[in-house]
A = this chain, B = another copy of it.
Amino acid sequence: MPPIITAFERSPDGGKGLARDTRVRWALEEVGQPYEVRLVSFQAMKQSAHLALHPFGQIPTFEDGDLGLFETGSIVLYIAERHAGLLPDDANARARAISWMFAAVNTVEPPILELVTARILEGDKPWSKERLPLVMDRIRDRLRQLSSRLGDADWLDGQFSAGDLMMVSVLLRLRASGILDEYPNLSAYVARGEARPAYQRAFAAQLAVNTR
């Protein structure tokens, strides 16, 4: 039996690939593992059956036999540790790739999530216009450091890894803001991620759900 992931019945982004199931689909496509998808509605996500699987009532989840996992980062790591293609063989290089996975979700994504909050939850507040540049500048602080580290390399540390998969996925959230274009090497890095056949398949699969 292939593993089962959950995804939005209707993604809030309408199929732009920013919902986190895309990250898990991408990982599964990179390692060539088939999977099944169970779609969940916003109502169902907050009910006990789903909360038993995901305590924070979100998607994606990952069920593989007796095992139920939540949190995209840990699902991607689980897949990467069990199939070739997302982590280097060398133990040290492997540990460094996992550092980049955590950097994506704990250092780069938090200021980006602040931008999402500022726009979606506080877009109608009186402070919104004056505050937005501060939020953008905090994102730029991180992008400048990331851009400097990446330099003219294709990927963050040698071959493409789960660290790149997570970092590209996090940066993709910025595309609409235009900030990414201020860092041409990061913009090219994200484009390289998107050009991967595995990403293309993952993107098409989530788009198909959202344009039924």
Q: Which residues of A contact B (CB under 8 A)?
A: 51, 55-58, 66-75, 77-78, 92, 95-96, 98-103, 105-107, 109-110, 113-114, 117, 121-122, 125-127, 130-131, 134, 138, 142, 145-146, 148-149
Contacts and interface: CB of A to CB of B under 8 A. Distances in A.
A78 B95 contact: yes
Interface of A is mostly: helix
Contact of A127 (B96, B106, B109, B131): B131
B107 A109 contact: no
Given A122-B134, A127-B130, 13 more contacts: A51-B148, A55-B148, A56-B142, A57-B145, A58-B107, A69-B95, A69-B99, A78-B95, A102-B105, A117-B138, A125-B127, A126-B127, A127-B131
A110 B107 CA distance: 10
A92 B102 CA distance: 21
Nearest to A126: B127
A103 B71 contact: yes
Copies per complex of this chain: 2
A67 B55 contact: no
A107 B56 contact: yes
A73 B163 CA distance: 13
A71 B73 CA distance: 14
Contacts of A72: 102, 106
A126 B106 CA distance: 29
B145 A56 contact: yes
Contact of A77 (B56, B98, B103): B98
Contact of A66 (B92, B130, B134, B142): B92
